[in-house]
Structure 1
Amino acid sequence: MSSVPVLSGVAKEKGDAAAVDLEQFDLRRFLDALGSEEFSSIDGPVDLAAVASMLEGNPQAVLFRQPAGESIPLAGNVAASRSRLAKAFNTTPENLLGEVLKRLRKKGEVVEVPRSAAPVQQVVLTGDECDFTKLPVHLQHGLDGAPYISASIDFVVDPNTGWTNVGVRRLMLRGRRTAGVDLVAPSDLRAIYIEHASRGERLPIAFAVGTHPIDHVAATMRIPTDELALIASLRDAPLGVVKCVTNDLMVPADAQFILEGYLDEHGHVEPEGPYGEFLGYYGGVKKNPVFHLTAITHRRNPIFQTATISGRTMARTDTSQLCALRTEATVWRALEVAVREVKAVYANAATGGMFNVRIAMQQRVPGEARNAIAAVFSCLANVKHVFVVDPDIDIFSDEQMEWALATRFQADRDLVLQDRMRAMPLDPSLGGSHHTAKAGFDLTLPFLRPGMTRSIEHRVPAPPAFEGRRFDSLEAALEDGPKSFEQLMTSTGTRDGREIVRWLEDTGATRTIARDEEGRYFFG
């Protein structure tokens, strides 16, 4: 596959609602299309205190129709499985990465629609009417500092490029119209905010809540472009955007909710946290900026959304599944320029979707597996462990990966270590260090040069297939050349084989039958 190009900035041209389908990527429509194995609906009232435990480890997306007995439904776990992400892209889990990479190569079209046509501005609340505490926001983890809005996608404009930057940030409720925002880890939004705060300026920002899974995938990507266009690319359809009511930001017109406001000019000064982080442990209290709410706009019959983040069932959280897909796309692009025949890339969601990466590849020359390991070490700070296998290993199978590690790896020969690399600050194993060590595991079989075949000790057993030439007799089969026992059975078409044992014994009494180094029979 060719590398993913850097997308150019996209002008947002005026249009009308007819220019784009403003219902195609409606969250409600996506949920309605899920089957019973992927989705469940809770029709009666549910206390907000019960939501987190009902989502924890749940393999299904869940719609709480009356959270706290109120009228705004709450959806959770929407993107918390690879199969649901695949459904969002109209493909299969195995082909999901390929579909994402294909869409990333397309130029995204962004069309501004008038406010009268934008579903997300059917209801507009400003002033005292907009209130965080009137939304179904729940406590997610036992030690969290407050209820969090966790499925929020943020939109800001980078004044240096004019592009819209899109990301995923949580909001810790501090009051009716204030919330803490986590901006500690390096990011484009952090850099943009610090620049504004250094000048004593507020940063206009908007958050979309209740969005199609594709929009969340786009928000996790790190590709230098106007990221509204990136959403359109991944949707493989024009993106309708609308101008906010209280600032000039453009946001998806088909979202369920938009929370408008600004990050104040005071910088990283207010405590935010603790919070259950995406690595399965708590993050402590940090100093962070404050978001001030100036408007809430939403559909007439909206769905609010929460995302699962942390705990012991990481593979069944929204964050891990989204991070895994982002990791795979980033790693694939890095491998495209480092090695040649990459067959598959998989980031296991159980590791937070980024710390452990598996690669299946065909080596063309000795050492390519190590080149792949080095490329992955460098392309993402979050990746700590890289496992490279031959194409015969299914990297989606824990069983096969364990087998490859057990039988194709020698630590003194196949372990690649690199220390003092950039660390993910939230990694609890760092012990206060600002650097991390990374390990690569070369689980490939010894490299074969052209014309060479593997010794029998490196061949994988499989049930006999009984495919090959037929002969008039067993004598004729052996006269033709050495044969395995399976080939002897195939040569006569027998479905038993015990008669061949008798024939070998009887014939061996009068004529020498020997065996070669692979155990094949031949006349000596």
Structure 2
Amino acid sequence: MSHKDLQGFIKALEKKGELKRIKAEVSSELEITEIADRISKEYGSALLFEKVKDSPYPLLINAMGTFERMSMALEAETLDEIGDEIKEYLELRNYLTIKGLIRSVPRLFRLLYALPLKRPGRGKCQQIIEKEVNLYNLPVLKCWPLDAGRFFTLPLVFTKDRNTKQQNVGMYRMQVLDEKTTGMHWHKHKDGSEIYGGYKAKGERMPVSVALGCDPAITYAATAPLPKMLDEMMLAGWLRKSNVTMVKCVTNDIYVPANAEIVLEGYVDTTEDLVLEGPFGDHTGYYSLADYYPRFHVTCITHRKAAIYPATVVGKPPMEDCYMAKATERIFLPILKMQIPELKDINLPLEGVFHNCAILSVRSAYPGCARKVMNAVWGMGQMMYTKLVVIVNENVDVQNLKEVGQAVLRNVGSLHDLLLSEGPLDALDHSSDKALYGTRLGVDATTVRETTGKENFKVIQISKKYPGEAKDLLMKHLKENDDKFVIAVDDSVDISNFSLVMWKFFNNIDAKRDLIALENKFGIDATKKWKEEGLTRDWPEDITMSQEIIDLVSERWKEYGLD
């Protein structure tokens, strides 16, 4: 039985003991973030804050913040179950015999759920219509101390292509600028930005509607890397085994899910000057820098009676968004296998925050197979932003980072096993010298070598006093020691925390600039870079909570009922 809406999912979570209700009044400015961050790091429950200061709306957070809840959200026992179902659709042999076709009938009938239904009249999301807009009534979070303001963090932004009239939905953060407008943070490589360009070329207003609080399959589908010709609501309907019902907005021609909790209707004026948006504590664990984006004008707010506001917090992993990324990993694996026949499995480690690392196991049947796979990954949609691609043999469990590490230490023996590839990087990558472009690193760990007893890995701390000092110290260490791989991090990094070290490593390197080699030994400079080391832009701050809020939450912890 599908979750028909967000409130149905909340009931299911509560029935399974996966939800905690917080009855104490809390603030949407920093306090909720600190609570949710602590719970997330403990692999804890979903949280429903029933009383948010200065807002009539309860707030739900961390609803998909574990593997189990992410699976529940998508109507499955495990995320692999969904990937296995997709694999069955892609197996051509299932349709080549009468017996196979008969067995496939239930599977084929399920495809009917992929068709969204446009219903006339009003939906539950339009039980209340507010033409007098005041965004400050919503419990929009200020997540981190250096954020520029309050941000919608789980919005489903619906747009319509000017020429084809096809709808698109994406998840783009939105900074509240005043009581009626927000920023619209769609990057250059996002569909929303491309659709915006079509309206801008004609100097026209672009209709936009934002759904808040849909059922979890719809929310996930908005983040999925689908081809442009596929409507995200088709994936949502298939996942939830129930067609998504859409209704037309009150003030524009956009259709939104009928059972959404809240809908913001409005437009973007493409003739208007862009507005400064950010900084924002982002999913990389760093503050993304301020930049200029379009302004979204909200002309109407519709919502359900007793609506619940959805939110998420991003920052240093693991956090709720990590499990959404893992869902994408498992769901789209069969499709990747169709395009890369050598592929056995893939792991996007949590510390890689979506785009910084992918580990793939392959059946290496011919020379150069690993390089072929690396280039295939970099040529495939949003995977082109993957900064580090590690290839291991099929007998290595990519979900076991210890096994992967041993394979890399044993099998990478020279620079020939590394591939440096210049190309596009994600807009949130801060480590390259220039924005949006840098060097990706491929690691071929498929050539099985005999152990030499010198497969050592070392992390060293450095307090840099001059530009390039980290690389100097790395070279000195490589000359004086037998360590095969050495990573340099700033002295503020706790090197006993392996997850933290890997997060710094994945985030802070540009391979062309930061990799050094001495014979068959390698050093990586994962320290914060200075302008004098080649940067053309500012290096962002790590996300940390203010001590005042940390103390406040610690003092109130029992009051929240979270002991």
1:250-273 Cα shifts (integer Å, max 9, x gaps): 111111111111112334521111
Q: Could you tell me how far 1:102 is from its partner in structure 2?
A: 5.2
Are the structure 2 counterparts of residues 358 and 141 from structure 1 closer, same or farther at C-alpha, using a change threshold of 3 Å?
same
- Which deviates more, 66-75 or 168-177? 66-75
Secondary structure of the residue that 2:168 maps to in structure 1? strand
The residue number in structure 1 matching 2:247 is: 242
The runs of 5 or more residues in structure 1 that have no matched partner are 1-20, 448-454, 458-524
The residue number in structure 2 matching 1:137 is: 140
The residue number in structure 1 matching 2:268 is: 263
AA in 2 matched with 1:147: R
AA in 1 matched with 2:424: R
Alignment map for 1:25-36 (pairs within 5 Å)? 25-34=4-13
Q: Could you tell me how far 1:429 is from its partner in structure 2?
A: 0.6
TM-score by length of 2: 0.69
Q: Could you tell me how far 1:160 is from its partner in structure 2?
A: 2.2
Secondary structure of the residue that 2:385 maps to in structure 1? coil
The residue number in structure 2 matching 1:400 is: 403
Secondary structure of the residue that 1:24 maps to in structure 2? coil
Q: Could you tell me how far 1:230 is from its partner in structure 2?
A: 3.2
Query: Root-mean-square deviation (CA), in Å?
Result: 2.7
The residue number in structure 2 matching 1:416 is: 419
| Aligned-partner Cα distance in 1 for 2:320–2:188 | 21
AA in 1 matched with 2:370: A
| Aligned-partner Cα distance in 2 for 1:434–1:253 | 37
The residue number in structure 1 matching 2:62 is: 77
AA in 1 matched with 2:74: F
| Aligned-partner Cα distance in 1 for 2:68–2:346 | 16
Contact 1:417 1:440 in 2 (8 A): yes
The residue number in structure 2 matching 1:109 is: 115
Are the structure 2 counterparts of residues 266 and 141 from structure 1 closer, same or farther at C-alpha, using a change threshold of 3 Å?
farther
Count of equivalent residues: 422
The residue number in structure 2 matching 1:98 is: 83
1:268-296 Cα shifts (integer Å, max 9, x gaps): 52111111122221122211111111111
Q: Choose which of 12, 31, 35 in structure 2 pairs with 1:54.
A: 35
Secondary structure of the residue that 1:155 maps to in structure 2? strand
Secondary structure of the residue that 1:389 maps to in structure 2? strand
Q: Choose which of 220, 224, 227 in structure 1 pairs with 2:232.
A: 227
Q: Could you tell me how far 1:356 is from its partner in structure 2?
A: 0.7
Are the structure 2 counterparts of residues 91 and 406 from structure 1 closer, same or farther at C-alpha, using a change threshold of 3 Å?
farther
The residue number in structure 1 matching 2:216 is: 213
1:174-230 Cα shifts (integer Å, max 9, x gaps): 111111111343222112112212322111111111123322321122312233323
AA in 1 matched with 2:439: A
Contact 1:331 1:376 in 2 (8 A): no
AA in 2 matched with 1:79: M
Secondary structure of the residue that 2:218 maps to in structure 1? helix
1:321-375 Cα shifts (integer Å, max 9, x gaps): 33444466567534422334x3222211221122211222333334323322221
Secondary structure of the residue that 1:353 maps to in structure 2? coil
The answer as to 2:19 corresponding to 1:39 is: yes
The residue number in structure 2 matching 1:493 is: none
| Aligned-partner Cα distance in 2 for 1:397–1:236 | 32
Secondary structure of the residue that 1:307 maps to in structure 2? coil
The residue number in structure 2 matching 1:151 is: 154
Are the structure 2 counterparts of residues 349 and 228 from structure 1 closer, same or farther at C-alpha, using a change threshold of 3 Å?
same
Are the structure 2 counterparts of residues 149 and 217 from structure 1 closer, same or farther at C-alpha, using a change threshold of 3 Å?
same
| Aligned-partner Cα distance in 1 for 2:407–2:296 | 49
| Aligned-partner Cα distance in 2 for 1:44–1:145 | 27
The residue number in structure 2 matching 1:389 is: 392
| Aligned-partner Cα distance in 2 for 1:100–1:253 | 27
AA in 1 matched with 2:24: G
AA in 1 matched with 2:61: G
Contact 1:416 1:439 in 2 (8 A): yes
Contact 1:266 1:289 in 2 (8 A): no
The runs of 5 or more residues in structure 2 that have no matched partner are 91-110, 453-563
The residue number in structure 2 matching 1:284 is: 289
Contact 2:200 2:270 in 1 (8 A): yes
| Aligned-partner Cα distance in 2 for 1:204–1:251 | 12
The residue number in structure 2 matching 1:66 is: 51
| Aligned-partner Cα distance in 1 for 2:211–2:124 | 13
| Aligned-partner Cα distance in 1 for 2:372–2:217 | 32
| Aligned-partner Cα distance in 2 for 1:201–1:327 | 38
AA in 1 matched with 2:438: T
Q: Could you tell me how far 1:446 is from its partner in structure 2?
A: 3.7
| Aligned-partner Cα distance in 2 for 1:83–1:110 | 27
Contact 1:348 1:354 in 2 (8 A): no
Alignment map for 1:117-132 (pairs within 5 Å)? 118-126=123-131, 128=132, 130-132=133-135
AA in 2 matched with 1:166: V
Between the aligned residues of both structures, percent identity stands at: 26
Are the structure 2 counterparts of residues 162 and 227 from structure 1 closer, same or farther at C-alpha, using a change threshold of 3 Å?
farther
The answer as to 2:444 corresponding to 1:442 is: yes
Q: Choose which of 308, 321, 324 in structure 1 pairs with 2:323.
A: 321
| Aligned-partner Cα distance in 1 for 2:365–2:246 | 47
TM-score by length of 1: 0.74
Are the structure 2 counterparts of residues 384 and 37 from structure 1 closer, same or farther at C-alpha, using a change threshold of 3 Å?
farther
